[in-house]
Homo-oligomer: A and B are copies of this chain.
């Protein structure tokens, strides 16, 4: 099991630091965010230390995926929220603060002023086709 002795989430996994753990299995733990954006804000964290989502082996990331519906149903039941956001931030530019991959589940309520800043654009002529070609090559090369 890979750990990082300076990592707060590794310390939660190893029970050096207490946390409000609500679910755990062989790959993951899920606990209440200590500084919630709304009541019932959950974090899903890998037991092993990986800094980024893009470093995760696919079997571990598939475990994260498999637990998301379960965690979401629990969240709706417990909090009474009508919806939630799942969020994973990769990299400082994207808001990643703890250097151990984690997924947020954020309960949402009317008028809560949370959510993603949504300023949608569009592609200039030809740009989407160019990106599509590049993405198809990148997916093929790394799969």
Residues of A within 8 A of B (CB): 20-23, 30, 32-40, 42, 52-59, 61-79, 81-96, 103, 106, 108-110, 113-123, 127-129, 131-132, 134-136, 138-139, 142-143
Contacts and interface: CB of A to CB of B under 8 A. Distances in A.
A35 B122 contact: yes
A32 B132 contact: yes
B139 A70 contact: yes
A68 B69 contact: no
Given A36-B120, A85-B90, 16 more contacts: A22-B136, A54-B76, A58-B70, A61-B66, A62-B65, A65-B68, A70-B139, A81-B93, A83-B89, A83-B90, A83-B93, A83-B96, A85-B89, A86-B86, A114-B116, A115-B116
A78 B130 CA distance: 10
B23 A139 contact: yes
Contacts of A65: 61-66, 68
B58 A142 contact: no
